[in-house]
Structure 1
Amino acid sequence: MVSPARLVRSAELCDAPYAYGAVVESGVQLVFLAGACPLERDGTTAAVGDYAGQAAKCVENLTEALRAAGASLEDVVSTRVLVASTQRSDLGSAWDVVHEAFGEHDVPSTLLGVTVLGYEDQLVEIEAVAALPD
């Protein structure tokens, strides 16, 4: 299925590892997802102390939430990746996992270092918006 979103790039901007914007055509359904957290089915936090491991679990949970809405990673039009750290290397560890998961569908994304996230031992969270044909 062809995505109802068009990723926006500009030769006038830095060559970033993500699109700078996404245009969603009219007549589509938008799916607003809660932040995907690194939680196991029993509610425990996965990969305690491991930024990349938690990012991978977040991507896994995001993928399942998308599936439940009838969507996939290819339908995502934007993400926000939250990382509980002040170290750029920690943000980079989480980002590398997310960027690899999206592959060539490099949606507009914001990567943020934050002081704390909601669950015990949580280091990473991924918010996303997806678009589906109506």
Structure 2
Amino acid sequence: MSRAVRLIRSATLSDVAEYAYAATAPAGARLIFLAGACPLNGDGTTAAVGDYAGQAAKSVANLRVALADAGAAIEDVISTRVLVASSSQADLVAAWEVVRDAFGEHDVPSTLMGVTVLGYDDQLVEIEAVAAVAE
């Protein structure tokens, strides 16, 4: 299957970043704007309380479900924003490593942010995403 998203790498910016610096989708691609994927179980409880990596994994799993429901897959994501409720860089990295590994070679442009609080009880991680699929 041909994917609409094309990742763009920079030869002049730092290669320390573990993601592409930009991505494009062709005119006519259907854009999908996903609400933040949260680490919620089916019953509405928060998964992996106190565990940044565990909540990142559950958020990725829920993101995959939302993408599938919209007719897309993780390879159709064009950008992400990963929100982590912490001021500790180690906590941000713990969540980021899970997200990075879930995307594998489809290393979309991403922003990783430490925030003071997220919307659900005991929530530590949330992943926003935009996807594009060819019509």
- TM tier relative to shorter chain: over 0.9
RMSD over aligned CA atoms reads: 0.5
Q: 2:70 aligns to what?
A: 69
1:71-92 alpha-carbon deviations (Å, 9 max, x no partner): 0000000000000000000000
Alignment map for 1:1-134 (pairs within 5 Å): 1-15=1-15, 16-134=17-135
Q: Which runs of 5+ in 2 are unaligned?
A: none
CA drift at 1:3: 1.4
What is the alpha-carbon distance in structure 1 between the residues aligned to residue 4 and residue 111 of structure 2?
21
Amino acid in structure 2 at the alignment position of 1:122: Q
CA drift at 1:24: 1.0
Q: How many residues align?
A: 134
Q: Which runs of 5+ in 1 are unaligned?
A: none
What is the alpha-carbon distance in structure 2 between the residues aligned to residue 53 and residue 125 of structure 1?
12
Give the alignment's TM-score, normalised by structure 2.
0.98
What is the alpha-carbon distance in structure 2 between the residues aligned to residue 56 and residue 2 of structure 1?
27
Amino acid in structure 2 at the alignment position of 1:128: A
